[in-house]
Amino acid sequence: MLALDFASPDRLWLLAGAAGLAVAYVVMQARRRRDAAKFADPALLPFLVSGKAPWWRHAVAAVFAVGLVLATVAAAQPTVPGTAERQQATIIVAIDTSDSMKATDVSPSRLAAAVSEAKSFIEGLPSTFSVGIVSADATPKVVVAPSTDHQAVEVALDRLATSPGTALGEAIFTALNALPAGSTPTTAAQGSGAGSSAANPAKAPAARIVLLSDGKSTTGRPDGEAIAAAKAAQVPVSTIAIGTAHASVQSAGQTVDVPVDASALQAIAKGTDGKFFQAASADQLRAVYADINSEVTVVATDKGVAEWFAAAALLLLLVASVTSMLRTGRVVWT
């Protein structure tokens, strides 16, 4: 069932006017019969006043009343749930560049697959979206600041290289600090008030962090602190666990097992109101990015449908008026 809401519900009090007209119509019908009985010869009364008004007169009056009700509803600006294309947003893609990302359980390697699909993800974003890249090794850094130059961002992805250590918490802090002023709901509300974004959700500030990794932090500030910071900034962090349970890499001449560990990534997504995804192959990673793309680019909004009710009201009022004129030569139903 379609949920109907109103932008100006106070105007629904005008329905009292329609109810008043309905009462007046009933009173007028009763008065007509009474007046006829008062002044007519009793013998002629059955010929002057029937027991009830012609059926079409009541029908036309009912159509007119419904038209008034619909017009009043239209004045209250009814809305239904809908969606709109988001016009602006800032997306920070944080990619784990620790040594474990060299594992080849995801072809051609975890890092190479992450970079390839990140490029496809960025290509699918609207040109008005700003995109930034953060590396998530032991010392996370901004590889490229958020920019609408998506081609430059994709070129920067090719510069990513692995190094020891993983600091997911630090990567989130780095991503939050890279967001431009006013690109999050909290900073925008402080700067210009919350009313403007509420009026047009498609133009509301939006920021998302997409964190892709195969494990948990081995250094840096605790993930919990980063989760709290992202939550306070109202920036969801969607996380992607890439890899399988059976993988290894060569490090210092030794073979080191690097199974994917999704626990930390699940906690980050849950704690920041983001989404968690598991990707064990390039195809799954591609599907994950498509899911994130659709979530970021479309925003829930209320769709105004006042014109529907206004059009229906106009049609009914026209039908009532034309019918009355054809029957009586005037627009009167009493």
Residue-wise pLDDT tens digits, 68-81? 888 888 888 887 77
Locus of tokens 């210009």: 192
**What would the two tokens of residue 305 be?**
């449908």
pLDDT digits (tens, 9 = 90+) for 265-320: 999 999 999 999 999 998 999 999 988 888 888 766 667 778 888 888 888 888 87
Instruction: For each of the domains in the chain, give its residue range(s) and CATH number, in order of start.
Output: 5-81+303-328 (no CATH), 86-280 (3.40.50.410)
What 3-state DSSP class applies to 52? coil
Alpha helices (H) along 76-108? none
What would the DSSP string read from start to end of 265-294? HHHHHHHTT--EEEESSHHHHHHHHHHHHH
pLDDT digits (tens, 9 = 90+) for 6-53: 778 888 787 787 777 777 777 776 776 666 555 555 555 555 555 455
What is the chain's length? 334
- Residue 44 or residue 243, greater confidence: 243
The greatest distance separating any two alpha carbons of the chain, rounded to the nearest whole angstrom, comes to 121
d(CA 276, CA 100): 20
d(CA 78, CA 76): 6
β-bridge mates for residue 142, sequence order: 134
Tell me the average pLDDT of the chain: 82
Confidence of residue 173 (pLDDT cuts 50, 70, 90): very high
Strand order in the sheet with 78-85: 5-6, 78-85, 298-304
pLDDT at residue 1 above 60? no
Phi and psi, residue 134, nearest 5°: -125, 135
- Contact assessment for residue 309 and residue 78, using Cβ atoms and an 8 Å cutoff: yes
Q: Taking the chain, what is the end-to-end CA distance rounded to the nearest angstrom? A: 37
pLDDT at residue 264 above 70? yes
**Which amino acid is present at 148?**
T
For residue 34, with 0-12 CB atoms within 10 Å meaning exposed, 13-18 middle and 19 or more buried, which class applies? exposed
Mention every residue, 6+ apart, whose C-beta is less than 8 A from residue 190: none
- Contact assessment for residue 137 and residue 97, using Cβ atoms and an 8 Å cutoff: yes
What would the DSSP string read from start to end of 211-265? EEESS--SSSS-HHHHHHHHHHTT--EEEEEES-SS-EEEETTEEEE-----HHH
**If you ran DSSP here, which 8-state letter would residue 107 be given?**
S
